[in-house]
Chain A
């Protein structure tokens, strides 16, 4: 298959439902399901037939509900023209719609002499049970994560937001996959222009296949910035996180077949939030958020700061610290930039290895990488112990950041900063910071400033971003805003 996001080359031909049963069956077999051996046509005695894909439906529904209902209809009123007494039955008069419904797991019921077809819902979807999301574990709060089935995910949100103001617009994306996508927002909480922006971007998506939420993510994000490394939307598998964002006036997008939902708009500071911040006291919640903010700076700048201070501006260091660092570096043959690139590179390899290996082996990798190699390179005099400390603190800091996408972006920028500082010292570092700040300040997520509430400064915005203010404050602020 080519590019799944390319335009629609697979338009289905359409035809009306004929009054002749034979013609309908033949059209279905020849035009829509040619060489589809799993299509089952079940002809019945009463001049009618059922058509369905046998792997997609629940056979019990046919045997226990559909066939008895047809029999009752035929025997009782002697009229198969009337609708079957079954729940959720629909009519269709286009063969194209009928074929699509069959693909969705419906049973098509054709009757001789009738120019409409009855569609009986009977899809059989294998679902996994609800588990704690592995990528976003929390100490406190809900332990339920999304699953691959969109209906279950919608139900998880509806259970937590019992208001008719929670609006849900559905759309099918992908001419081949026809993936169900749900667009959610709370009416009068979410800004109307934001909702329309999000919905229009979703509708404008023209794809052959939609298999992962990342396709939607990139397609929506490109309207704000095509090439930014920073995530301009967020992804989560936690229903409580989706609900929290909907309550803040954001929009959410669920995609069938993936447990990950998209949230927008996001700001840099909202990416350091975690649902459990609201399960702790405001003091602890605020402290943790400030800690994460500090972690962002450490993760991004610590190795380059170390390089700048040890290679270019030793006079800036306090005397005792400068002496201590110098002692550690006596036997090291490389400049700090080489040390940093080597250690950071080795750490990235270890991290990837840890992710791909089975869980039991990943801990072994950590021990081998972290302890054994770390100690060996220091003993061999290749790397200074200070650099090992710097890389370790940087790595730990990057793990604190809740958003994986943000964490990855920071990792890439860290390397850029290391190279800039390695060549130009503090000037390179400052230049890099200013370029990055200029980039960040120009970014928008669904049209909203990415650095809000810092740039532009919005006083009320700080209560639930850098700090986690008490609920009473947040409530009065929400009332004031509404």
Chain B
């Protein structure tokens, strides 16, 4: 019988891919096109490559502490006090990410389909799903994640990309390196950091079965899935000109609107929105479970996180209502402070942890042997 908490390497790939790729469909392509123009595709490729390096690094770091999550081994590496402070900061970061994910789907649906429904109601509904996901555990979320990832990336994206491939104008990708390298780099950062939660690997690692597979297996396959998931964003660059792309709200949705089957099936975006919604819900469920389990680990509670669900949900509800009241506020945050926060928690702090590990490697090894 499978444990409620353990997940397989394939399920880890699905969860990571969903947490990384679903977010990148919404605001990133237009923002990137505004900055890097026709070179947006280069920025996407660069971001994916850098993401792969980042993932390899997290896998390396996680392997050093195979039974501990990031929250737990910061204490081993930095001592109880500093470790706890850094752990608490990570918990706050995960809470912020959870709030952002919850608001994105709630505010997005409210603006697009339900303008008369108070966003509060939609946030409560999304939070209810999060709580239920956390109650079911990583295992259930991951099993559903595999299905959602297969439908979203494997069926929907490939089908949509293949459908519009004949309409893609190769000239939209040219001239090569027409933008400055700085713009392309910044554009890559837009694609990579505010959306891509590669850091979750450090939180999922102790729950993964067959950990020997973890390093290259998960890194390569996750990168591959994310690359496939990015086909749609790459296609939008070729399909619309950079100027058009910069003005579009949800470019992949616009792309799916271009696919028609005869006179009858004229709105294929329904298919995309359905699968995208499913992927988003799983990503939200994962993010929330990561947040609640990190809080539980920080508090060193032995009885599981069930007792934390209600207070954490109320806190998240309040945070979501205060921080992201409109889509405009959300976009401003994502591409403003959000980038710096993400860089700090996904690049600088993990980098420091790695350096500390290398410095204290011998002492840690002796401690473990002793």
Give A306-320 interface residues, CB cut-off 8 Å to B. Answer: 312-313, 315-320
* Inter-subunit contact B147/A454 (CB<8 Å): yes
Question: A interface vs B, CB < 8 Å?
Answer: 193, 312-313, 315-321, 424-428, 430-431, 433-435, 437-439, 441-442, 444, 447, 449, 451, 454-457
Contact in complex: A438, B285 (CB < 8 Å) = yes
A427 to B125, CA, bound (A): 10
Counting chain B residues whose Cβ lies within 8 A of the other chain, the interface size class is 35 or more
Which of B121, B126, B140, B270 lies in contact with A438, CB distance below 8 A? B140
With a cutoff of 8 Å between Cβ atoms, the chain A residues found around residue B264 in the complex are: 318, 320-321
Contact B132 A457 (CB under 8 A): no
A441 in contact with B270 (CB, 8 Å)? no
Interface string of B262-283 (1 = CB under 8 A from A): 0111110010011001100110
Q: Does B1 contact A (CB under 8 A)?
A: yes
Q: Which residues of B contact A439 (CB under 8 A)?
A: 132, 136
Is there contact, CB below 8 Å, between A425 and B274?
A: no
Q: A318-B264, A456-B143 are in contact. Are A442 and B136 (CB under 8 A)?
A: yes
B113 and A441 form a contact (CB under 8 A): no
Which residue of A317, A434, A437 has the most chain B CB atoms within 10 A of its CB atom?
Answer: A434
* Complex partner residue of A316 from B8, B121, B267, B282, CB under 8 angstroms: B267
Closest residue on chain B to residue A423 by CB atoms: B117
With a cutoff of 8 Å between Cβ atoms, the chain A residues found around residue B285 in the complex are 438
Check: B259 CB closer than 8 A to any chain A CB. Answer: no
In the complex, residue of chain B having the shortest beta-carbon distance to the beta carbon of A313 = B113
A56 to B308, CA, bound (A): 61
CB distance from B156 to the nearest CB of A (A): 14
| Chain A residues within an 8 Å CB radius of B282 | 434
Interface residues of B in 274-314 (CB under 8 A from A): 274, 277-278, 281-282, 285
**B contact residues vs A (CB 8 Å cutoff):** 1-2, 8, 11, 109, 113-114, 117, 121-122, 125-126, 128-129, 132-133, 136-137, 140-141, 143-144, 146-147, 263-267, 270, 273-274, 277-278, 281-282, 285
A73: min CB distance to chain B, Å: 58
Interface centre among A313, A425, A438, A439 (most CB of B within 10 A): A438
B270 touches A451 (CB 8 A): no
The answer to whether B129 touches A435 (Cβ under 8 A) is: yes
**Complex-state Cα separation, A193 to B2, whole angstroms:** 13
- Chain A residue numbers with a CB within 8 Å of B133 are 438
Bound-complex Cα distance A437 to B267 (A): 25
B-chain residues with CB within 8 Å of residue A424 when the two chains form the complex? 114, 117, 121-122, 125
A426 touches B273 (CB 8 A): yes
B132 touches A435 (CB 8 A): yes
Chain B's nearest CB lies how many Å from the CB of A305?
10
Instruction: Please state if A430 and B278 are interface contacts (CB–CB under 8 Å).
Output: yes
Residues of B within 8 A of A455 (CB): 143-144, 146-147
Give me 20 other A-B pairs in contact (C-beta within 8 A), A426-B277, A435-B129, A456-B146 excluded: A312-B113, A312-B114, A316-B270, A424-B121, A424-B125, A430-B281, A431-B129, A431-B281, A434-B129, A434-B278, A437-B144, A438-B129, A438-B133, A438-B136, A438-B141, A438-B144, A441-B144, A442-B140, A449-B143, A455-B143
